[in-house]
Structure 1
Amino acid sequence: MAPLTMYSAVVPNSPDVAGEGKPRRSVLCPETLVENYAASYKSGTNVTTLYENFLEGIHRSGGKAFLGTRPIVNGVPQNYEWQSYVEVQERVKHFGAGLAHLGLAPKSHFGVFSINRAEWTMSELAGYQYNYTSVPLYDTLGVSAIEFIVNQTEMETIVASPDKAQILLHMKSSLPTLKNIVVMGAVDETLLTEGKELKIHVVAWTDVEANGKATPVEAVHPTADDIATICYTSGTTGTPKGAVLTHRNFVAPIASLHMMARHGKFFIPCSADTHVSYLPLAHVFERLCQSVMISGAARIGYYQGDTLKLLDDVAILQPTIFASVPRLFNRIYDKVLAGVKAKGGVAAFLFNRAYAAKKANLRKGIMTHAVWDKLVFGAIRARLGGKVKHIVSGSAPISPDVMDFLRICFSADVYEGYGQTEQAAGLCMSYRGDLTPGQVGPPQLCIEVKLKDLPAMNYTSQDKPFPRGEIMLRGNSVFNGYYKAPKQTAETLDAEGWASTGDVGQWDAQGRMVVIDRVKNIFKLAQGEYIAPEKIEAVLAKHYLVAQVFVHGDSLQATLVGVVIPDPDTLKLWANENGLGGKSYEELCRDAKVKTTLQKDLAVFGRESDLKGFEILKNIYVDSEQFSIENDLLTPTFKLKRHQAKEKYQAEIDRMYAEIA
């Protein structure tokens, strides 16, 4: 038998430490961790900052398109309009100078408060060029968190969209340091009037740009160790924590991906590539994605601002690169399979035959098929514009079934990334050509990783056949700490620079990381069984009738209960087949027959998916209101806010347990 291909290796001469496994690095750089990459814009130099990364993109672009926006005319979105890299470079320079005229000095903070749009990216790039520190405000963080961030950073200037500018003006009494609001797009007269009354300088983004153009200011460029951004994690409880990230922290994972690409394990985009920007720019995953796009001179097109219209934007934009989160990929997976089931007959027969043939080919490393790709999967590819070559999933674990589905239906390279805010999203990345599902690849080339024993959860670095434990990392992408929060920093970073993730991982036989659990989201039932609710939710969410699910249990109860949000489309199809076709979605969610069917089907589905007996839901509540950012049940990266969900459904939880008793 041929020896297994190894993806990571033990760090040479690493000491034995009780209660820990030995650190591992990618086999592509076992001796030295990657920090930066060679620049083409200036021979003999390396890209060490995000400003230099921008210069690299400008050089590689040859003046081609950079930022694209769909103008809305009389409520109708038009085709994308583009600004070139050279045009954006000029605007960024002028805007950065204009911010200086507003009182911004090198290393001082400025806020950005908006959904994704071109001015967001240009404001950030101006910060990189002039060595300002950006502090993004999440679009839906909530008033108390915004107040906390602005006051903790003593922010004087915030760049905001008109609707967010209005929010800031209403909050002025609790934001004593705020002096300037720079408004993206058109400035309503009422904003100017209200600003004057509150003694806030409200000014248009374009006016700041024009002022900088009229009176240039020489930029003070950052070094690798200067702070690029303070990125506040939304969290699920308590006040946000501001992760302090330097230019080195961001450039290191970009450099890692460049080196992986040189070895054929990843891709670096070029001016022919297009990325759709819709994941929140206040989160590091999208910002790292954009920085990688810029490093290769790719185009970035922004969505309209409504995720319900995202696929309309994608159809026009026709991206070649699609970076998203499992929540969206799961919905595509569910919709396609439900559609196949609904059609039945010849269409279902052809799909299933094509799917089985391509799945068998995947195990041989083949992702294309001369017949089935055009005959069966062409319409599915069109859902993402028809030109996607690379798909990147991040922010949360993705099911192996969905990974296979994406490769089969889109014939694209599919990568799963794993990282956190505290490492600028640079922890692990699966390799091109490795079609093994369920793993997130070896460590990025900029860090090393070890597993720390968790004896209370029965995970240790000595486990057989594979070592398990809390994922710890150290290296060039790891943050400096939390802003003005030494206690929280000490809880995450130890004296030797090792950062704890709160995630449980295991090394597989080929030195790749498999994320298997969360340290904090574990609870124990009354009989002593440890429960990982996220694992159960990931399984049950794959059922065709389920859109979302929240699993709950505690140490005073012997069983689990759950809140299930049915998929509106598939529930309607089921209702038509079961004599309930005349009812609305809300009426169906209240129907006893729906609840009984769902509970029974999920129990069977759970056992078929290898859930243990104590992991089966013994009672459920069916609700029609989806978990969302707007109702504060999801974080901006679409992770369930478990504490808030428990509070919202506490009455139903009590009733479900009473019914079981």
Structure 2
Amino acid sequence: MGAKGSHNISRGIRPSVELTYQSQELGGKDRARISRLCKDGKLLEYKTEDARTLHEVFKRGARLSNNGPCLGWKPSATEPYKWINYDDVLQRASYFGAGLIKLGLSPTNNTNVGIYSQNKPEYVIFEQACYTYSMVGVPLYDTLGVEACNFIINQAEISAVICDTNKKVGNLLDRFSETKNIRHIIVMEKLSGEMQTRASSLGVKLHAWAEIEKLGQDNPHPHKPATPDDLCIICYTSGTTGLPKGAMLTHKGVVSIVVACETHLEAADLVIQTTDVMISYLPLAHSYERLLETYVYLHGARVGFFQGDVRKLMDDIKELQPTVFPTVPRLLNRFYDKVMSGVNASPVKKFLFNIALAEKEKELKRGVIRKTSIWDTLMFRKVQEALGGKVKLIVTGSAPLSAKVLGFLRCCVGCPILEGYGQTECSAIATLQIVGDHLTGNVGPPLVCNQIKLADVAEMEYYSGSNKGEVCIRGPNVFRGYLKDQTKTNDALDEEGWLHTGDIGEWLPNGALKIIDRKKHIFKLAQGEYIAPEKIENVYIRCSLVAQVFVHGDSLQSCLVGVVVPDPDMLPKYAADKLKLRLPIQDLARNAEVKKVILADLIDVGKKAGLSSLEQVKDVYVYPEMFSVENGLLTPTFKAKRQELKRYFHSQINAMYSKLS
């Protein structure tokens, strides 16, 4: 982000707070902590009266930029980026919103409008149209699955959906028997005659995007902008079991997070300028991307959209030369692997690269973040140019990044790389690492908009008195609840307003938070997808050759592995009949052909039960002895002791992942 002062200096930067004292404990029974940047111990909700809603934030950006470039896109792979200015976005949003009203939608905060699209300028214009007239956007996305999308359209009572492609129109029409409340579908690309015919036969009106803008231009409607307490979006989380939950996020909540991030970064002299550029490729259906884009709009800077094809992302980055680069571990891991494969190809290059890394590590420990050292010139220039050459800030979220990759990237990219922690229900983020803190393995202190406490989880032996427990968040950024689901809302929000995240955290001696476990047996894979292992185990146990199954994954890995105990009666019989193997079960467990058969059986049963590819194990270790209370792998009520199983099979799990990587 355009800096007040340059960080490309050898004296280093001064962190915004003392790195050994990053958060402060409040008095009282909760032992809650707040950021040391909180003034007078108060949480920050907004900074200026003219920017308390997302619509006001955008208008502020228009003023600061003097109606500068706002949204960029590539009309085709061979054409350069084109830009639309801030005032044009606001004007088109006004027209589009008025057009929706002319179709019959009401300009109230109870009107939910679906958006089923990749990131592009029209997505942002649609959002601003909603905010101009107090409506609420509801993103739909393919990875939710058909049943979940049907559920969302019905629960949120969506009568109009905006689509970017005719293919997505077809997806909606395919489901029409389950989603009969859809009356209008608006399409960004040229309308397909086939889709018009299909829609008409179902009583759905298909409109071109330009038609709705023209309708609003010809039928203007007085603006009815949203208030801070109004909903801005209903963001459905994919969930791990059952149907998705619609998290109701308010303008106040998102704005509080945006100004909290601004406070956090400005304290370290990271100030965004109107000339700064962010690349948008992470889904706008998720709160993380929306937060970052709003941060850019607050300062009148620019957002450039990728072409929609991840395979061309590096080309887009090279042309756009972003200064702000939001990312996720999956992408950074791939980037790391690509760099290292090039380095390892030459012993000389590897030797020099390791020297350069060691020297840059020394600088990081002194708080020096720069890309002008001799090592940058000799060894890291190509790495930096691969990200466009102008990146000033990288923020990573959605899942943890391994300490090895984070440390490596901080050395060679030459700009702050910060890891944050949060979830949709707290408007995306609740903690963020301090600029200049070279340590890895933590997610930083609380942001200035929220308190964080650790609640006792006695059944897992985590206690707040030992600085460990369930992470709970309270502040203006916490969501209002789940749409039409008071039971799940009550599970997430307690009577005192604390959001119970389900994650287990630990306060480190320096006041930063570290995520160490999960309360329920749910975890994220590296790509950010939640997995419920017990659900998968309950499917796999149907395999005739299997007696017990333990499914494992974690947020540093992109797939699942498992430990399987074969059925002591069925496997020997099967091996003798089908494989002509008459061996003791201990020997069968070590046999590669037996393992191959068991893994194929698991995958087959999983497919028939509807498990997604991410829910299927990619490798198994066959263990001949039953999990039992006696060997410490089951509880007295015969439930799997997951932490014990993880420890017991630690080496086998590592070996499987090593082979898969």
TM bracket, shorter-chain basis: 0.7 to 0.9
Contact residue 116 and residue 278 of structure 1 kept, 8 A: yes
Letter in 2 for 1:321: V
Tell me, in whole angstroms, the C-alpha distance in 1 between the residues paired with 2:65 and 2:615. 51
Q: Kindly indicate whether residue 196 of structure 2 is the aligned counterpart of residue 186 of structure 1.
A: no
Residues 245/346 of structure 1: CA separation in 2 closer, same or farther (3 Å cut): same
- 2:47 aligned residue (24, 37, 40): 37
Structure 1 residues 188 and 644: alpha-carbon distance in aligned structure 2, compared to 1, 3 A threshold: closer
Tell me how far 1:128 sits from its aligned partner: 1.1
Tell whether the 8 Å contact from 2:564 to 2:622 is kept in structure 1 after alignment: no
Indicate which of 405, 410, 419 corresponds to 1:402.
405
Amino acid of the residue matched to residue 260 of structure 2? S
Task: Evaluate the alpha carbon distance shift between residue 331 and residue 521 of structure 1 in structure 2; reply closer, same or farther with a 3 A threshold.
Answer: farther
What displacement does 1:660 show? 11
**Residue 180 of structure 2: which of 176, 180, 190 is its match?**
176
Query: 2:249 corresponds to which residue?
Result: 245
Cα separation, 1, equivalents of 2:414 and 2:276: 17
1:312–1:473: structure 2 CA closer, same or farther, 3 Å change rule? same
Q: What residue number does 1:24 align with?
A: 33
Show the counterpart of 1:91. Answer: 92
Change (3 A) 1:532 1:34: farther
Q: 1:658 to 1:338 in 2, by over 3 A?
A: farther
> What amino acid is aligned across from residue 81 of structure 2 in structure 1?
Y
Partner of 1:364: 366
Instruction: Kindly indicate whether residue 12 of structure 2 is the aligned counterpart of residue 10 of structure 1.
Output: no
CA contact (8 A) 2:131 2:226 kept: yes
Report the count of equivalent residues.
550
Q: Mark the CA change 1:6 to 1:131 in structure 2 (over 3 Å): closer, same or farther.
A: same
Shift of 1:549: 3.8
- 1:382 aligned counterpart, secondary structure: helix
Please tell me whether residue 648 in structure 1 is matched to residue 616 in structure 2.
yes
Instruction: Give 1:435 deviation, angstroms.
Output: 1.9
**In 1, Cα distance between the equivalents of 2:520 and 2:408?**
31
- Find the aligned partners of 1:207 and 1:4 in 2 and give their Cα distance: 55
Gaps of 5+ in 2: 1-17, 523-532, 538-549, 568-589, 628-661
Correspondence for 1:521: 521
> In the alignment, what sits opposite 2:231?
227
1:523-542 correspondence runs (5 A): 533-535=552-554, 538=556, 541=557
Question: In structure 1, what is the Cα distance between the partners aligned to 2:566 and 2:136?
Answer: 47
| Cα displacement string for residues 193-224 of structure 1 (whole angstroms, at most 9, x for unaligned residues) | 22212111100111101111121111111111
The change in CA–CA distance for 1:386 and 1:459 in structure 2 (over 3 A counts) is same
Q: How does 1:459-538 map to 2 (within 5 A)?
A: 459-463=462-466, 467-521=467-521, 533-535=552-554, 538=556
Task: Give the match's secondary structure for 2:325.
Answer: strand
Aligned to 1:271: 274
- Residue 416 of structure 2 aligns with an amino acid whose one-letter code is D
Q: Does 1:137 align with 2:154?
A: no
Structure 1 residues 647, 437: closer, same or farther in 2, change over 3 A? Answer: closer
Q: 1:456 offset after TM fit, Å?
A: 2.1
Amino acid at match of 1:483: L
Taking the aligned partners of 2:424 and 2:301, their CA distance within structure 1 comes to 24
1:428–1:180 CA distance, 2 compared to 1 (3 A): same
Shift of 1:330: 1.0
Say whether 1:207 aligns with 2:219. no
Q: 2: CA distance between counterparts of 1:659 and 1:197?
A: 61
What's the secondary structure of 1:158's corresponding residue? strand
Q: For 2:196, what is the secondary structure of its paired residue?
A: helix
- Partner of 2:458 in structure 1? 455
Quick one: which amino acid aligns to residue 114 of structure 2? G
- How far is the alpha carbon of 1:46 from its aligned partner? 4.0
| One-letter code aligned to 1:450 | K
**Whole-angstrom distance in 1 between the partners of 2:598 and 2:362:** 37
| Partner SS, residue 143 of structure 2 | coil
Q: Which amino acid aligns with 2:23?
A: S
Equivalent position of 2:428 in the other structure: 425
Secondary structure of the residue aligned to 2:34 is strand
Contact kept? 1:158, 1:180, Cα under 8 Å: yes
Map of 1:338 onto structure 2: 341
The CA deviation at 1:271 is 1.6
**What secondary structure, in the 3-state scheme, does the structure 1 residue paired with 2:41 have?**
coil
Shift of 1:621: 11
Aligned 8 A contact 1:36 1:46 in 2: no
C-alpha deviations, 1:472-521, integer Å up to 9, x for none? 01110000110001111111111111111011111111211111111223
Provide closer, same or farther for how the CA distance between residues 247 and 647 of structure 1 changes in structure 2, counting only shifts above 3 A: closer
State the shift of 1:15 in Å: 2.4
Q: Is the contact made by 2:132 and 2:223 (CA closer than 8 Å) also made in structure 1?
A: yes
Aligned partner letter, 1:481: G
Instruction: Determine the structure 2 residue equivalent to 1:347.
Output: 349
User: Is the Cα–Cα contact under 8 Å of residues 521 and 533 in structure 1 kept in the other structure?
Assistant: no
Q: Secondary structure at the match of 1:398?
A: coil
1:126 and 1:513 mapped to 2: Cα distance? 38
Opposite residue 83 of structure 2, the aligned amino acid is: W
Counterparts in 2 of 1:488 and 1:556: CA distance versus 1, 3 Å: farther
- Give the SS at the match of 2:185: strand
**CA distance 1:196–1:235, change in 2 (3 Å):** same
Structure 2 counterpart of 1:66, one-letter code: C
Name the residue aligned to 1:639: none
Q: Secondary structure at the match of 2:481?
A: coil
CA distance in 1, matches of 2:74, 2:383: 24
Q: CA shift at 1:352, angstroms? A: 1.4
Q: Would you say the 8 A contact 1:115–1:139 is kept in 2?
A: no
One-letter amino acid of the structure 1 residue matched with residue 41 of structure 2: E
Instruction: Report what 1:116 is aligned to.
Output: 119
Encode CA deviations 1:254-308: one digit per residue, 9 max, x unaligned.
111222234227x342221111111111110011111111111121111111112
Q: Structure 2 residue aligned with 1:376, among 376, 379, 385?
A: 379
1:603-618 pair list within 5 angstroms: none
1:206-246 per-residue CA deviation (whole Å, 9 max, x = no partner) reads 11011111211111111111111110001222100000111
Are the counterparts in 2 of residues 34 and 256 from structure 1 also a CA contact under 8 Å? yes
**1:272 partner letter:** T
Q: Distance in 2 between matches of 1:177 and 1:131?
A: 21
Distance in 2 of aligned mates of 1:647 and 1:6:
41
The amino acid of 2:471's aligned partner reads I
- Counterpart CA distance in 2 for 1:7 and 1:58 is 35
Paired residue for 1:128? 131
User: What are the Cα deviations for residues 321-354 of structure 1, in whole angstroms up to 9, with x where unaligned?
Assistant: 1101111111111221122112x23222221111
Q: Does 1:552 align with 2:562?
A: yes
Contact map agreement 1:469 1:506 (CA 8 A) in 2 = yes
User: Structure 1 residues 61, 213: closer, same or farther in 2, change over 3 A?
Assistant: same
Show CA shifts across 1:109-129 (max 9, x none): 100001111111110111111
Which residue is equivalent to 2:419? 416
Q: Which residue identity lines up with residue 622 of structure 2 in the other structure?
A: M
Structure 1: 5+ residue runs without aligned partners? 39-44, 526-530, 542-547, 558-598, 600-618, 633-641
> Post-superposition shift, 1:130?
1.0
Partner of 2:396: 393
Percent of matched pairs sharing the same residue: 38
Distance 2:626 2:365 in 1: 45
Q: Is the 8 A contact 2:61 2:298 kept in 1?
A: yes
- Secondary structure at the aligned position of 1:376 is classed as helix
CA distance, structure 2, for counterparts of residue 35 and residue 131 of structure 1 = 20
The 5 A counterparts of 1:549-628 are 549-553=559-563
